């Protein structure tokens, strides 16, 4: 088995903002198999579907704001079904208390029911603030404990797990069966500051994450990067090439 590699397009938001279509062409040229959206460049679903087919790219997910999911979930589902995207992901939310995490779990379950009924899956993507603790329990664990594993998938961002001082592989094991999509970026520490860097240029054990993803039957490895020492497109190209070597080495 060789895990396909997708790109979270937020990583190249500067390219996306300049020219959405040309940005996707660059991603395809690098060799990525799929893209995870964070907006659709103003294209209709039919236009985007045709563009993906033309470029040989698959939609591996789409990050959609919580507000839009709550207020217009039916339209979101319809658009993503048209472009062939199997996963709608809630990318972020604000939390001030344990109750906020519990309420979020209720919301995700409700949205997950609507998604599953239409033949699409809902997921949640973490950052770092979900690792605040409440009586020894992480906020992210509260979300997953209180959501149905068949309704809400765990798009675990392994960088933010490591950023919180935890082991990404062990955290993935905890949610085996829910990790259809895994976000991968590497970490460097500069003057005591943790920040993302190209895959293969940091301290995270990416190979161990790949092995665990293989064991779990993960559908996509998704590259993401938020800090750059070179252009964003150069960075995601290097990250792709390094990740591809690691994936091939794990087979």
Return all residues near 143 (Cβ < 8 A) that are at least 6 apart. 101, 104, 105, 108, 124, 130, 152
Q: What is the SS3 string spanning the chain?
A: CCCCEEEEHHHHHHHHHHCHHHHHHHHHHHCCCEEEECCCCCCCHHHHHHHHHHHCCEEEEEECCHHHHHHHHHHHHHHHHHCCCCEEEECCCCCCCHHHHHHHHHHHHHHHHHHHHCCCEEEEECCCHHHCEECCEEHHHHHHHCCCCCCEEEEEEHHHHHHCCCCHHHHHHHCCCCCCEEEECEEEEECCEEEEECCCCCCCCHHHHHHHHHHHCCCEEEECCCCCCCCHHHHHHHHHHHHHHHHHHHC
Cα 25 from Cα 155, distance rounded (Å): 25
Which is nearest to 154 in space by CA: 122, 186, 124? 124
Domain residue ranges in the chain: 5-250
Q: How many CB atoms lie within 10 A of CB 19?
A: 12
Strands 87-90 and 58-63 turn out to be parallel
Residue 86's pLDDT is: 98
CA distances from residue 120 to 53, 117, 148 in whole angstroms, order as listed = 20, 8, 15
User: What stretches in the chain show pLDDT beneath 50?
Assistant: 1
140: tokens are 């992210």
Residue 251's pLDDT is: 60
- Burial (CB < 10 A; 0-12, 13-18, 19+), residue 119, is exposed
List the CATH code of the domain at 5-250: 3.20.20.150
Which is nearest to 111 in space by CA: 99, 93, 133? 93
pTM: 0.96
């Amino acid at each position: 088995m060789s895990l396909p590699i997708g790109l979270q397009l937020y990583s190249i938001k500067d390219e996306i903002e300049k020219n959405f279509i040309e940005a996707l062409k660059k991603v395809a040229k690098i060799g990525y198999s799929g893209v995870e959206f964070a907006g659709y460049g103003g294209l209709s679903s039919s236009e985007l579907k045709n563009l993906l087919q033309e470029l040989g790219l698959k939609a591996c997910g789409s990050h959609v704001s919580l507000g839009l999911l709550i207020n217009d979930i039916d339209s979101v589902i319809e658009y993503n079904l048209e472009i062939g995207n199997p996963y709608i992901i809630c990318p972020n939310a604000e939390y001030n208390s344990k109750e906020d995490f519990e309420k979020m779990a209720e919301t995700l379950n409700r949205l997950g029911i609507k998604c599953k009924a239409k033949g699409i899956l809902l997921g949640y993507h973490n950052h770092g603030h979900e690792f605040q603790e409440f009586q020894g329990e992480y906020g992210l664990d509260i979300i997953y404990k209180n959501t149905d594993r068949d309704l809400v998938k765990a798009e675990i961002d392994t960088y933010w797990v490591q950023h919180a001082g935890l082991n990404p592989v062990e955290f993935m094991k905890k949610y085996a069966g829910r990790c259809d999509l895994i976000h991968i970026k590497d970490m460097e520490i500069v003057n005591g500051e943790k920040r993302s860097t190209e895959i293969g240029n940091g301290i995270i054990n990416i190979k161990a994450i790949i092995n665990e993803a293989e064991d779990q039957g993960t559908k996509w490895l998704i590259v993401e990067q938020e800090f750059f020492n070179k252009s964003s497109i150069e960075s995601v190209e290097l990250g792709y090439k390094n990740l591809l070597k690691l994936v091939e080495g794990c087979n």
